[in-house]
A and B are shown apart, each in its own frame.
Chain A
Amino acid sequence: MASRVVYARGAEAVLYRIDYMGLPAILKIRVSKTYRHPVYDRLFRYRRTVVEGRVLSHLYLLGLRVPALYFIDPDNYYLVMEYIEGLRLSDHLDRLPVNTIESIAYDLGRQAGIMHSNTVYHGDFTVANVIVKDDKPYIIDFGLSGYSRDLEEYAIDIHLLMRSIEALYPSHVKLFMESFWSGYKSVVGEAKCRETMDRVRDVRLRGRYIEERLRRKIKRERYM
């Protein structure tokens, strides 16, 4: 790990593009934050590093397209993982042909289905965290991920994905999500998929979509 080039500077970590035993790799170091209490800061960075490493290796062993974990040192808050060369989906989704978007969305749905069936949620599942390499989607940045059996967490993943497409490529939402859901359904099955879709709708009706909820309520009252 002799030569280090800063590859990206995120909010909580710095990424370096390195060479790890002859393999192109990314070194992710969680940096200390002055705004956190020192005790809490160490605990926090340690825990996030451990969870990220655990989730990465778990998903990799399940055969998902995620960076392979090469090395982890939670005491020094860093991990080394496979470097995935490609473009972020957030940067070029609208430049892809329709059938490629469909196959990417389907595959992403399939992968999300596998991930959720194994009680893993991503926590920041947006198009900025999907890298496209050889027309195949790779999911990256598991910094906010975790384990949960709560349907809510899975629904929020999909909600975040949908919201990120709405913000960047509003005209592609329908196309993308239809393929995504069929990919998701192919793994989790009809019933589970329906249940998740319903929960995603519930999530959307909270917070930012409050007026929508009020309107729905008024409509229901009309029949009572």
Chain B
Amino acid sequence: MKTIVLGVESTSHTFGIGMACLENNEPVILANERSVYVPERGGIHPREASLHHMREAPIVLKKALDKAGVGIEDVDAIAVALGPGLGPCLRVGATLARFLASYYSKPLVPVNHAVAHVEIGKLVNKLHDPLIVYVSGGNTLIAIQKMKRYRVLGETLDIPLGNLLDTFAREAGLAPPYIVEGRHQVDICADWGDEFIDLPYTVKGNDLSFSGLLTAALKMVRKARDRRQLGNVCLSIRETAFNMLVEVAERALALTRKKEVLLTGGVAANVYLNSKLDSMARLHDAAFYTIPREYAGDNGAMIAWTGLLAYLHGVVVEPEKAFVRQRWRIDEVDLPWLPE
């Protein structure tokens, strides 16, 4: 028994195609190809990103099929991330997936992008019930699984963590490019500093707020006279933001007494955040797991894998009803493969 699912990811700056296969209960990622839209200046322009996706879609699709050594006829289902994400970008992936599904008469499987980030993390680390810390440019949340859904215990009330770091780097004149040799500009700049500046630390119950921190840090940047002073601001914004997240995660861990902590999403590639969460987990005798870089940022493989799980549990949608949902929350999706 062999099931192959092709996954389409296009929620934000990444257009990705992944292929996941389940053979004799053994999951395998056959392909994970992508093309990332990099803005020349500023942040992600949704229209520009979607034009990029349109240009790249056929190329990435072909690459993925070649890599997997599978013809489109051999695919059992087409999975697509229908949200949450940027409307114009989502529509590119949805259009491609709807076309593939109807042209080749394949079932179409709707996938929530946030759920996919969690499922791929659980797959590569072989986890069953972790405390989930999902941080990316568009999401910042702490969740657990309960009664066939992911339940949000805490989240950002305004901007996500990745957005905070990117916006700060951009407004401070450090980016783009946002990532250089695998390190974020804020991390690079933090090495220049050696002193802490008092910045707003906003934790409300189990929720976070980063917008005040961003404003205050940018005010400090305007006052910075030299590289060291700019470094101090970077050091402080990173320390403050990460401590806020880790504190909320710690509260959730103390409350739920989970034995595993999983960090996933684009910001999971950050070395400092990893070490902070790792030492927090140790304090509570929990094991810490992170996500390999290739699956940290947006990718097609996670959509394919989650699509495979959904498809095996009969989750399919008619192509004419597969609408994109820009604000599709992780806790709105019933997931039949999760325990009660």
Contact = CB atoms under 8 A, between A and B. Distances in A.
Interface stretch (B87-95, B165-173, B247-255): B247-255
Contact of B279 (A35, A44, A206, A207): A35
Chain A: number of interface residues, binned into ranges: 20 to 34
Interface residues of B, number: 31
B156 A207 contact: yes
Contacts of A214: 327
A144 B246 CA distance: 15
B152 interface: yes
Nearest to A37: B239
Contacts of B329: 208, 210-211
A144 B155 contact: no
B280 A33 contact: yes
B190 to A, nearest CB: 11
A35 B286 CA distance: 14
A160 interface: yes
A144 B247 CA distance: 12
Interface string A155-166: 010001001000
B198 to A, nearest CB: 8
A9 to B, nearest CB: 8
B327 A210 contact: yes
Given A11-B247, A207-B157, A211-B329, A35 B280 contact: yes
Interface string A87-123: 0000000000000000000000000000000000001
Interface string A121-134: 00111100000000
Interface in B252-309: 253-254, 275-277, 279-280, 282-283
B207 to A, nearest CB: 8
A3 interface: no
A33 B283 contact: yes
B205 interface: yes
B327 A10 contact: no
Contact of A206 (B157, B246, B276, B282): B157
A212 to B, nearest CB: 11
A36 B329 CA distance: 31
B174 interface: no
Interface residue SS majority, chain B: helix
A211 B328 CA distance: 8
B243 A35 contact: yes
Contact of B155 (A35, A123, A203, A207): A207
B203 A144 contact: yes
B219 to A, nearest CB: 18
B104 interface: no
A40 B196 contact: yes
Contacts of B251: 11-12
B204 interface: yes
Nearest to B332: A211
A158 to B, nearest CB: 11
Contact of B277 (A35, A206, A210): A35
B279 A37 contact: no
A162 to B, nearest CB: 11
Nearest to B248: A11
A214 B247 CA distance: 31
B203 A123 contact: yes
Interface in A7-59: 9-12, 33-37, 39-40, 43-44
A43 B201 CA distance: 12
A35 B276 contact: yes
B154 to A, nearest CB: 10
A43 B155 CA distance: 25
B205 A123 contact: yes
Contacts of A11: 247, 250-251, 253-254
Nearest to B198: A43
Contacts of B254: 9-11
A202 B250 CA distance: 28
A123 B196 contact: no
Interface string A199-222: 000010011101100100000000
B185 to A, nearest CB: 20
Interface string B298-340: 0000000000000000000000000000010101100000000
B233 to A, nearest CB: 14
A50 to B, nearest CB: 14
A129 B207 CA distance: 16
Nearest to A10: B254
A160 B204 contact: yes
Given A35-B280, A207-B157, A210-B327, A44 B243 contact: yes
Q: Which 4 A-B pairs have the closest CB atoms?
A: A35-B276, A34-B279, A160-B205, A11-B251
Given A44-B243, A160-B204, 8 more contacts: A11-B253, A12-B247, A34-B282, A34-B283, A39-B196, A44-B201, A156-B205, A203-B157
Interface of A: 9-12, 33-37, 39-40, 43-44, 123-126, 144, 156, 160, 163, 203, 206-208, 210-211, 214
